Copies of this chain bind each other. A is one copy, B any other.
């Protein structure tokens, strides 16, 4: 198991949640796919790997992980099904092409400073963030000059 994965398990335990088979299995699946999965993808994979785990538990786990800022649901393709992204180290950043739905990930965000400012200004305790840019990818931009 990767260090990142251990960190996540740790976070579950620290928050007082039991390390059940369902939760660990689903967490592992998310890890292995490295980031972008729709709920349908997760359901399918769970069914393939551990069919004894019920649908309800999958949704419950995804909700729980979201509350713990381990993952975050976002809209990528259609507007009806969430795509969950892993938040390794608490954050994730990507560009979504609004024409072809391609996703381009990038690393740097330089948001540490802003994060601190916000924590002081609003007296909140922040555990993660997601930054999404929207626009046209190189292919689509080339085809649609303006």
- Residues in chain A within 8 A of chain B (CB atoms): 59, 62-63, 66-69, 72-75, 78-79, 82, 95, 97-99, 104, 106, 108-111, 114-115, 118, 121-138, 141
A66 to B111, CA, bound (A): 25
Query: Contact at B135–A127, with CB atoms within 8 Å?
Result: yes
Task: Give the copy number.
Answer: 2
Residues from chain B with a CB closer than 8 A to the CB of A97 are: 124
Query: Contact at A129–B118, with CB atoms within 8 Å?
Result: no
**Closest A-B pairs by Cβ, 6 of them:** A126-B135, A123-B138, A125-B141, A129-B133, A73-B75, A127-B135
Query: Contact at B132–A129, with CB atoms within 8 Å?
Result: yes
Residues from chain B with a CB closer than 8 A to the CB of A99 are: 67
A141 to B126, CA, bound (A): 10
Chain B nearest CB, measured from A136 CB (Å): 5
- Report 8 cross-chain contacts, Cβ distance below 8 Å, ordered by A residue: A59-B79, A67-B99, A74-B74, A104-B122, A110-B114, A118-B133, A124-B141, A130-B132
